[in-house]
């Protein structure tokens, strides 16, 4: 179809019959109208390093580390490795996500076919310019937005872009979206948008935008770190002054050189306040969780996503590729003619075996036999625009005449023989979500030379109605049932017909009457949120609406997970708290998702939820151990600074607290089974026990040091050891309490920690390293008595806390 020379929106001449000239191409390249985009994500490597390394947290730890090294106190500087490890994990994880996003591409075809100066050329897709004439054939991917100039039965698969599962026939003047694929016919189209302005690249740009997982654990840890940071400077000043005054005053400490031990004490208070182990343990727990999920064929692309699904209360599902496998199944034959013509089943076998059959017609091949003996006079391939196909056989045979297979409303004429009842039956079947076709027959033989100009043969009589349904994933029903029992709301969001979506949802076990037509969705977020609360199934949903629906649910306080496999799902997956891609998903869809089901098994999701619950429940359990240490570190620092006493512990002695009473057992506890259902308020519950527990430890330490000063005559190392014993007794009992309900494995961990603690303080090499000096009997008795009293207090606090938060300890069946 030749078109007259025209002008585009920039005023340039556009000769569609022969394509652009070399001068036209050069003019557009100079103006920057080429099909190139900057292939970077929103986070540079420098930004990643700055975010994970150049933090106030690291500055505090590294500064303390360097101070001790400069003072020659390398034994007290071992804590620096925790900060290094945590930074490395953060940088590696985020850089991995950056590389994944940088490789994101919706348009995958490396080359394009264009017509320039009357010659068809194959060029790199980046060299396509505005107004180029694309020459499209079956199997090609559209590499830039374009308008159809010529078509020869060209049909495009836009399912990844729009969610529509049926191919779309394109006529002159219709737009083609970049990223769609030609599945039938051929044609030519003029490029109207290139580079960042094209549909595919606009979605890709949004997908590459950096966004962090909404992690309550990370937020809680960051909040604690901010509190500690604000408290750090005044506490350090108080502790340093107390240290120097205890050593004889600032002037004496500086002139005599004993200020070094005072600085070491101040650093000990700083390091004790920072929950180094909790930050590192969270990263390790997420990493181990992702490894466990990888064994279940679930790829975790961001560590914090392991936690995310434990908090999800709304799961949004795409129908095609998630609830269904994306293919059609033959459902049933429905009689409409009491005396149908002979051979109708053979004709259906021919339609199913036709090489040009569409996906729906091919479903017939496994049900109706075709032995290859039927020889048609003529045939018309099925077209998504016509909604029917036809075949004629010579008169005189058992199948003589013309047979038409297609949509009842397009094939049958109202008022025709048997049409009224057939159309009524078809409408009833279609309302249940089944795809319905009719096989109709006319005794005359029709010869058609050009299928595009074909008209429906007259006097067609309906023979049978055929229904088809999408193939439901075998694991869909039991997976949805699991989420219902767990109190997770389900929303099915699809670009398909609302009735079809509702039918699939009912087959999967959801109690729904009909689907909501997304064309009626309100624009306002509050009104949209209300609709999302009250309806479960939505059809005719556009990609932009999916995004707004997710945002509306999040705006109402829900934690939203979204599954999908198409490009049309990318904006919604990006905005969801947790995006989940199926194995059949487009590469871009996988790139923006937090989780990818590598084997496409929908029933993997309960296991993912269980892993997330294990991580967050166990981290809640052990966070009390770390946070109580932060509390008593701050309280001890303030108390001893106010009393002008030396800090009661050396930095290296903190390892005896961090290791056996917190870090090592916390690692094992964080990896044990725990299927407790998540409840909001993670850190509120943790702090409600950690604060009184930390104050209890403070009272014990103050008592031991006050006793030593009242009685007098004890060495500094003996007092530190007595303080360490009292503190360890209380901290160990807090560990025992938070390990409940006890089982064999937890009991073994506790016994091992008691043994480790004893060995560290008794074996000569380690005792010497940690400067352990066993106190005289009187001070030892005071330390053990204070520790026992503190342990009793911890027991009472724990029982009170458990009554207030009955699910905060132990494993409770969900």
Q: For 200-245, what is each residue's pLDDT tens digit?
A: 677 666 555 555 556 677 777 777 777 777 777 787 777 777 767 7
In a domain, 136, yes or no: yes
Which residue would you say has higher pLDDT here, 389 or 587? Answer: 389
In the chain, how many domains are there? 5
CATH number for position 443: 3.40.1110.10
**Residues 758, 619 share a domain:** yes
**Residues 644, 545 share a domain:** no
State how far the Cα of 341 lies from the Cα of 762, in Å rounded to an integer: 98
Query: In sequence order, what are the residues at sequence separation of 6 or more whose Cβ sits closer than 8 angstroms to the Cβ of residue 142?
Result: 107, 134, 136, 156, 176, 177, 178, 179, 180, 181, 182, 189
Altogether, the residues listed in the chain come to a count of 814
Query: In sequence order, what are the residues at sequence separation of 6 or more whose Cβ sits closer than 8 angstroms to the Cβ of residue 17?
Result: 2, 3
In a domain, 38, yes or no: no
What pLDDT does residue 587 have? 66
In a domain, 1, yes or no: no
Average pLDDT of the chain is 79
What pLDDT does residue 11 have? 45
| Final residue belonging to a domain, choices 155, 186, 208 | 208
What pLDDT does residue 161 have? 63
Lowest mean pLDDT among 386-400, 477-491, 722-736, 800-814: 800-814
Query: H or E stretch including 263?
Result: helix 259-273
Query: H or E stretch including 115?
Result: strand 111-116
Say if residue 35's pLDDT is above 90.
no
Q: pLDDT category, 380, cuts 50, 70, 90?
A: confident
693-712 mean pLDDT? 94
**Residues 484, 461 share a domain:** no
Residue in 318, 496, 565, 569 annotated catalytic? 318
**Residue the block writes with tokens 């107390």:** 242
- Which residue segment(s) compose the domain that 523 sits in? 298-323+474-600
Say if residue 733's pLDDT is above 90.
yes
CA distances from 589 to 55, 103, 554, 766 (A): 32, 12, 21, 54
State how far the Cα of 432 lies from the Cα of 428, in Å rounded to an integer: 7
Q: pLDDT category, 72, cuts 50, 70, 90?
A: low
Is 251 in contact with 257 (CB distance < 8 Å)?
no
What pLDDT does residue 676 have? 67
Which residue would you say has higher pLDDT here, 630 or 432? Answer: 630
What pLDDT does residue 450 have? 47
What pLDDT does residue 797 have? 95
Say if residue 78's pLDDT is above 70.
no
**Residues 480, 459 share a domain:** no
What pLDDT does residue 725 have? 94
Active site residue 318: yes
732-749 mean pLDDT? 90
Say if residue 41's pLDDT is above 80.
no
Query: In sequence order, what are the residues at sequence separation of 6 or more whose Cβ sits closer than 8 angstroms to the Cβ of residue 526?
Result: 555
Give SS3 for 120.
strand
| Final residue belonging to a domain, choices 600, 626, 641 | 600
Name the β-bridge partners of 735.
none
**Residue the block writes with tokens 């058609």:** 448
State how far the Cα of 676 lies from the Cα of 812, in Å rounded to an integer: 5
Q: pLDDT category, 451, cuts 50, 70, 90?
A: very low
Question: What is the DSSP track for 764-781?
Answer: HHHHHHTT--PPPHHHHH
**Residues 688, 618 share a domain:** yes
Ramachandran quadrant class, 205 (left: phi over 0; alpha: psi -120 to 50; beta: rest): alpha
In a domain, 259, yes or no: yes
What pLDDT does residue 14 have? 46
Lowest mean pLDDT among 69-73, 295-299, 434-438: 69-73
CATH number for position 153: 2.70.150.10
Highest mean pLDDT of the ranges 226-230, 403-407, 723-727: 723-727
| Final residue belonging to a domain, choices 428, 451, 472 | 472
CATH number for position 526: 3.40.50.1000
What pLDDT does residue 694 have? 93
Name the β-bridge partners of 175.
147
Highest mean pLDDT of the ranges 507-521, 658-672, 795-809: 507-521
Say if residue 269's pLDDT is above 90.
no
**Residue the block writes with tokens 């994500």:** 41
State how far the Cα of 518 lies from the Cα of 535, in Å rounded to an integer: 11
Q: pLDDT category, 747, cuts 50, 70, 90?
A: very high
pLDDT digits (tens, 9 = 90+) for 589-610: 777 788 888 887 888 888 888 8
In a domain, 164, yes or no: yes
β-bridge pairing 461-472 and 435-442: antiparallel
**Residues 121, 23 share a domain:** yes
What pLDDT does residue 213 have? 57
Which residue would you say has higher pLDDT here, 773 or 139? Answer: 773
State how far the Cα of 408 lies from the Cα of 414, in Å rounded to an integer: 10
State how far the Cα of 616 lies from the Cα of 606, in Å rounded to an integer: 15
Which residue would you say has higher pLDDT here, 160 or 427? Answer: 427
**Residues 465, 400 share a domain:** yes
What pLDDT does residue 527 have? 93
Say if residue 580's pLDDT is above 60.
yes
In a domain, 40, yes or no: no
For the beta carbon of residue 489, count every other beta carbon within 10 angstroms.
Answer: 17
Say if residue 557's pLDDT is above 80.
yes
**Residues 265, 235 share a domain:** yes
404-426 mean pLDDT? 85
CA distances from 193 to 9, 202, 612, 804 (A): 11, 11, 43, 61
Query: In sequence order, what are the residues at sequence separation of 6 or more whose Cβ sits closer than 8 angstroms to the Cβ of residue 385?
Result: 169, 171
Is 647 in contact with 243 (CB distance < 8 Å)?
yes
State how far the Cα of 282 lies from the Cα of 126, in Å rounded to an integer: 43
In a domain, 812, yes or no: no
pTM: 0.65
Put the strands of the sheet holding 388-393 in their side by side order.
324-335, 461-472, 435-442, 401-406, 388-393, 376-383
Lowest mean pLDDT among 255-269, 334-348, 377-391, 482-496: 255-269
In a domain, 43, yes or no: no
Which residue would you say has higher pLDDT here, 163 or 32? Answer: 32
Say if residue 172's pLDDT is above 50.
yes
pLDDT digits (tens, 9 = 90+) for 301-336: 776 777 777 788 899 988 876 788 767 788 899 988
**Residues 677, 651 share a domain:** yes
Based on the number of CB atoms within 10 Å of its own CB, is 672 exposed (0-12), middle (13-18) or buried (19 or more)?
Answer: middle
**Residues 779, 733 share a domain:** yes
CA distances from 408 to 354, 384, 413 (A): 21, 14, 9
CATH number for position 758: 1.20.1110.10
pLDDT digits (tens, 9 = 90+) for 90-140: 666 566 655 654 554 444 446 788 888 888 888 888 888 888 898 888 778
**Residues 596, 539 share a domain:** yes
β-bridge pairing 578-581 and 595-597: parallel
State how far the Cα of 691 lies from the Cα of 718, in Å rounded to an integer: 28
**Residues 745, 645 share a domain:** yes
CA distances from 274 to 64, 282, 472, 658 (A): 11, 15, 52, 11
């Amino acid at each position: 179809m030749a078109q007259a020379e025209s002008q585009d929106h920039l005023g340039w001449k556009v000769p569609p019959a022969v394509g652009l000239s070399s001068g036209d191409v050069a003019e557009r390249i100079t103006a920057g109208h080429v099909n190139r985009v900057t292939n970077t994500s929103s986070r540079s490597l420098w930004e990643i390093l700055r975010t994970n390394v150049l933090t106030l947290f690291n500055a505090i730890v590294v500064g303390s580390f360097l101070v001790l090294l400069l003072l020659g106190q390398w034994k007290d500087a071992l804590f620096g490795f925790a900060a290094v490890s945590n930074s490395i994990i953060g940088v590696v994880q985020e850089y991995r996500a950056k590389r994944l996003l940088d490789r994101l591409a919706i348009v995958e075809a490396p080359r394009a076919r264009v017509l320039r100066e009357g010659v068809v050329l194959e060029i790199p897709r980046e060299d396509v310019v505005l107004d180029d004439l694309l020459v499209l054939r079956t199997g090609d991917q559209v590499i830039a937005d374009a308008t159809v100039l010529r078509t020869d039965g060209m049909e495009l698969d836009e399912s990844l872009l729009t969610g529509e599962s049926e191919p779309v026939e394109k006529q002159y003047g219709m737009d083609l979206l970049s990223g769609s694929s030609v599945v039938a016919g051929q044609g030519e189209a003029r490029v109207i948008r290139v580079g960042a302005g094209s549909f595919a690249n606009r979605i890709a740009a949004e997908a590459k935008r950096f966004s962090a997982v909404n992690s309550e654990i990370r937020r809680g840890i960051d909040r604690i770190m901010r509190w500690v940071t604000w408290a750090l400077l005044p506490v350090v000043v108080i502790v340093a002054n107390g240290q120097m005054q205890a050593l004889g005053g600032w002037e004496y400490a500086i002139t005599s050189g004993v200020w070094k031990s005072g600085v070491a004490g101040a650093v000990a208070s700083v390091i004790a306040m920072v929950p180094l182990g909790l930050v590192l343990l969270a990263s390790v727990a997420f990493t181990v969780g992702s490894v466990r999920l990888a064994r279940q064929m679930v790829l975790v692309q961001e560590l914090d996503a392991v936690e995310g699904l434990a908090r999800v209360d709304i799961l949004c599902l795409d129908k095609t590729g998630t609830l269904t496998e994306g293919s059609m199944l033959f459902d049933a034959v429905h009689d409409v003619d009491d005396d149908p013509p002979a051979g109708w089943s053979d004709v259906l076998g021919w339609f199913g075996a036709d090489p040009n059959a569409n996906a729906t017609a091919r479903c017939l091949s496994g049900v109706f036999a075709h032995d290859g003996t039927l020889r048609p006079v003529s045939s018309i391939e099925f077209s998504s625009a016509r909604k029917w196909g036809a075949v004629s056989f010579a008169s005189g045979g058992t199948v003589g005449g013309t047979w038409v297979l297609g949509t009842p409303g397009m094939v049958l004429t109202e008022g025709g023989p048997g049409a009224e009842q057939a159309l009524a039956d078809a409408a009833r079947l279609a309302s249940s979500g089944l795809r319905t076709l009719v096989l109709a027959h006319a005794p005359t033989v029709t010869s058609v030379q050009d299928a595009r100009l074909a008209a429906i043969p007259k006097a067609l009589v309906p023979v049978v109605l055929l229904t088809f349904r999408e193939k439901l994933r075998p694991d869909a029903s039991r997976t949805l049932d699991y989420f219902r029992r767990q109190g997770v709301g389900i929303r099915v969001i699809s670009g398909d017909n609302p009735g079809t979506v509702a039918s699939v949802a009912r087959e999967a076990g959801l109690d729904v009457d009909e689907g909501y037509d997304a064309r009626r969705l309100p624009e306002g977020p509050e009104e949209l949120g209300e609709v999302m609360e009250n309806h479960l199934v939505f059809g005719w949903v556009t990609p932009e609406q999916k995004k707004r629906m997710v945002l509306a649910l999040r705006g109402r306080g829900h934690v939203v997970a979204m599954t999908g496999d198409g490009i049309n799902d990318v904006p919604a997956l990006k905005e969801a708290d947790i995006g989940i891609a199926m194995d059949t998903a487009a590469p871009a869809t996988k790139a923006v998702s937090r989780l990818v089901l590598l084997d496409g098994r929908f029933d993997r999701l309960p296991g993912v939820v269980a892993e997330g619950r294990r991580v967050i429940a166990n981290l809640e359990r052990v966070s009390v151990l770390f946070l109580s240490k932060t509390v008593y570190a701050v309280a001890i620092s303030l108390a001893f600074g106010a009393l002008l006493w030396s800090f009661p512990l050396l930095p290296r002695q903190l390892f005896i607290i961090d290791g056996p009473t917190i870090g090592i057992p916390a690692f094992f506890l964080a990896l044990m089974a725990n299927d407790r259902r998540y409840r909001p308020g993670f850190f509120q519950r943790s702090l409600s026990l950690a604060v009184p527990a930390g104050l209890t430890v403070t009272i014990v330490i103050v008592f031991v040091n006050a006793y030593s000063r009242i009685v007098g005559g004890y060495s500094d190392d003996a007092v530190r050891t007595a303080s360490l014993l009292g503190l360890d007794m209380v901290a160990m009992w807090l560990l025992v309490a938070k390990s409940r309900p006890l089982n064999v494995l937890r009991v073994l961990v506790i016994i091992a920690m008691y043994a480790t603690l004893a060995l560290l303080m008794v074996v000569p090499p380690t005792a010497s390293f940690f400067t352990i000096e066993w106190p005289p009997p009187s001070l030892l008795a005071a330390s053990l008595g204070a520790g026992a009293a503190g342990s009793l207090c911890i027991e009472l606090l724990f029982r009170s806390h458990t009554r207030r938060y009955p699910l905060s300890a132990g494993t409770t069946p969900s």
